[in-house]
Amino acid sequence: MRFHTDLHLRDLAGRIHWPHATRGDTPITHRHTSDEDAEVAKATLYVSTVTLVVLLVVLAAIAFGQEAMHWLGVH
């Protein structure tokens, strides 16, 4: 399998990176605004909190189910 000689990993990473960089952008010239960074931080915190709460609810449900089975005498 051959790769094109103009294909560079920096260009590929720039295409994946949000927001999508244009061909002339480099990692040095492409910056996020502080509002964008704050929005991403808030979203990350929100998703992490929701994930933690869901995980705790699932673990509590499993523990309660095991105790209920113990109370009912199920082996």
Which residue, among 16, 41, 17, has the nearest Cα to 31 in the 3D structure? 17
**Site of tokens 């929100």:** 46
Which residues have a Cβ under 8 Å from the Cβ of 11 and sit 6 or more positions away?
23
pLDDT, tens only, 17-60: 555 556 665 656 567 788 888 999 999 999 999 999 999 999 99
Model confidence at 74, pLDDT cuts 50, 70, 90, reads: confident
Q: Where are the alpha helices (DSSP H) in the chain?
A: 9-16, 34-72
Q: Does the pLDDT of residue 70 top 60, yes or no?
A: yes
Cut 0.85: pTM above it: no
Q: Which pLDDT score is estimated for 32?
A: 77
CA 62 vs. chain centroid, Å, equals 26
pLDDT tens, 4-17? 656 566 666 655 65
